[in-house]
């Protein structure tokens, strides 16, 4: 009975999410423009990429050890959205950006996103197929591999976005030694703690999933962010309600 | 039309898979199983593409004589050697060589991959402690102090010394109450983020295949 109730609660959340996204999208089409709270990781994004481009350096982005056929697909899609935005900003650099992954299923998509970024800017002849790289099939080896890419390939900006664990400290340390700007977004708590100590900007919790809302002018992205905020308050309300009912002995 | 068909396939597949979790009818579960099987086959092919990518990237590094090219050469030789050994050992066998403790593939895996990972994991611990201490220099402030203090209390609290009973209890409280509460809050946020990204794909708002 409880399982069935939870199933329907989950379904209600999904339906509510879709309706909220639609409602906010319609509001935005009507001219509504919400103000977003500043997030360090996104506020300095353009400056971070700009510095790398102007100094003739390379931008490195890792989409992590997560694949697009796993439980971490949501994180992988968020990382791919960030890659899309990064590639779009970095293609004008003399040195092509480098995107690394630790999962083979992400590799074709990573390569395709970079290729399309060059196509959009009408610079396809400058597309370098080896920009997308499968470094390893394991998160520890991926982090170890990034430590050699950063010094060997003149990386000036390091963006780590994916299901990284504490091993991301290896990659972050390599960036710190080169004194380059680094941003970390992970869905894992251990990596977020590492990012707080070792990188310039760390995205905590759901912040890594809202890159498009902050870095592009897409109304659908902002609508999704607002729907996410409303859902968060809904969850908080349910938690408080559950605690109250439990305290009053009404929930068994 | 270029994006309508991929979008229709993505949305249709997503809806069917999602429905099969809420209404587990034999037909929906059958479709889900077939689609998941296809995904597994594609995943296997992706690994082959990934290995080719690894070889290509390292071959270009060697060809261009880039900094650290000898490491690329070692990587390529290691990949090819492991591939050949695993294929020879696995030929005609019912079980994979990796699950046979006496196989060379297993010895290579345990002796190189596992040992290498253990070494890197040990390095991670050292980097983290150094980074935490360095944090006080680079970003001096109240939060950095709290971060380092909690780290030290947690690390020292693990020591099994009878004289540190109070510290051990404090560490337990720290992990079970404020840390667990904060962690759950962050994880709820992550779960909501994942849900919204999924919904964006399901509604066609997020299209990784679109220009």
Q: Tens digit of pLDDT for each residue in B1-53?
A: 677 888 888 899 989 998 998 888 999 999 999 999 999 999 999 999 999 99
User: What pLDDT was estimated at residue A31?
Assistant: 87
Q: Which of B210, B204, B211 is nearest to B10 (CA)?
A: B204
Q: Which helix (H) or strand (E) holds B70?
A: helix B69-90
Nearest residue of B to residue A72 by CA position? B194
- Average pLDDT value for residue range A191-198: 91
Question: Shortest Cα distance from B164 to chain A (angstroms)?
Answer: 26
Inter-chain residue contact A198 with B205, CB threshold 8 Å: no
Strands A181-186 and A98-101: unpaired
Task: Answer whether A85's CB lies under 8 Å from A49's CB.
Answer: no
Neighbouring CB atoms inside 10 A of B5's CB total 9
The whole-number pLDDT of residue B140 equals 85
Query: What is the value of pTM for the model shown?
Result: 0.90
Helix extents (H) in A30-157: 40-43, 45-54, 73-90, 107-120, 139-152
* Phi and psi torsions of B195, nearest 5°: -60, -45
Binary contact (A232, B186; C-beta < 8 A): no
Please, is A53 exposed, middle or buried when counting C-beta atoms within 10 Å of its C-beta (0-12, 13-18, 19+)? Answer: buried
Residue A104 is nearest to which of B49, B132, B206, comparing CB atoms?
B49
pLDDT tens digits for range A108-124: 999 999 999 999 988 88
**In b/e form, how buried is each residue of B69-85, taking b as 16+ CB within 10 angstroms?**
beebeebbeeeeebeeb
- Do the interacting molecules here have an ipTM over 0.90? no
How far apart are alpha carbons A65 and A57 in whole angstroms? 25
Nearest chain B Cα distance for residue A252, angstroms: 22
Please name the residue that has the structure tokens 């995943």: B43
Give which of A84, A214, A105 is closest to B45, Cα–Cα. A105
Asked if the C-beta of A112 comes within 8 angstroms of chain B's C-beta atoms, the answer is yes
d(CA B186, CA A127): 38
pLDDT digits (tens, 9 = 90+) for B171-205: 888 888 988 999 999 999 999 999 999 999 998 88
For residue B209, pLDDT beyond 80: no
Render pLDDT for A205-225 as a digit per residue (tens, 0 to 9).
899 999 999 999 889 999 999
Cβ pair B131:A112 closer than 8 A: no
């Amino acid at each position: 009975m409880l399982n069935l109730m939870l199933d329907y609660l989950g379904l209600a959340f999904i339906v509510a999410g879709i309706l909220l996204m639609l409602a906010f999208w319609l509001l935005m089409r009507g001219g509504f423009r919400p103000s977003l709270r500043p997030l360090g990781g996104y506020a300095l994004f353009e400056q971070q990429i700009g510095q790398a481009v102007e100094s003739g350096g390379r931008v490195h982005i890792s989409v992590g050890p997560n694949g697009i056929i796993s439980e971490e697909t949501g994180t992988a899609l968020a990382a791919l959205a960030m890659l899309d935005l990064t590639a779009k900003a970095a293609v004008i650099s003399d040195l092509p950006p480098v995107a690394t992954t630790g999962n083979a299923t992400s590799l074709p998509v990573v390569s395709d996103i970079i290729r399309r970024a060059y196509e959009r800017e009408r610079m396809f002849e400058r597309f370098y197929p080896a920009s997308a790289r499968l470094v390893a099939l394991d998160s520890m080896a991926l982090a170890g591999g990034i430590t050699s890419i950063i010094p060997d390939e003149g990386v000036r900006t390091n963006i780590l976005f994916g299901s990284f664990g504490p091993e991301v400290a290896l990659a972050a340390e390599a960036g710190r030694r080169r004194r380059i700007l680094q941003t970390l977004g992970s869905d894992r708590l251990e990596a977020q703690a590492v990012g707080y100590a070792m990188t310039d900007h760390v995205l905590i919790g759901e912040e890594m999933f809202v890159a498009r809302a902050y870095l592009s002018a897409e109304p659908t992205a902002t609508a999704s962010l607002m729907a996410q905020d409303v859902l968060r308050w809904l969850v908080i309300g349910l938690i408080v309600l559950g605690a109250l009912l439990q305290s009053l002995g009404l929930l068994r | 039309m270029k994006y309508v068909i991929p979008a229709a396939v993505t949305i249709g597949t997503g809806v069917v898979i999602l429905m099969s979790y809420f209404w587990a009818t034999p037909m929906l579960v059958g479709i889900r199983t077939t689609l998941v099987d296809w995904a597994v086959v594609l995943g296997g092919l992706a690994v082959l593409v990934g290995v080719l990518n690894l070889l290509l990237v390292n071959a270009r590094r060697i060809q261009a004589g880039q900094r650290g090219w000898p490491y690329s050469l070692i990587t390529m030789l290691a990949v090819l050697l492991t591939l050949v050994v695993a294929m020879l050992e696995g030929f005609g066998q019912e079980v994979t060589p990796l699950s046979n403790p006496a196989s060379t593939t297993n010895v290579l895996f345990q002796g190189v991959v596992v040992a290498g990972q253990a070494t890197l994991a040990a390095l991670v611990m050292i980097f983290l402690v150094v980074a935490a201490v360095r944090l006080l220099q680079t970003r001096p402030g109240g939060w950095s102090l709290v971060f380092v203090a909690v780290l030290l209390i947690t690390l020292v609290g693990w020591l099994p010394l009878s004289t540190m009973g109070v510290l051990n209890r404090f560490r337990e409280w720290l992990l079970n109450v404020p840390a667990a509460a904060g962690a759950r809050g962050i994880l709820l946020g992550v779960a909501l983020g994942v849900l919204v990204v999924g919904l964006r794909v399901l509604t066609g708002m997020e299209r990784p295949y679109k220009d």
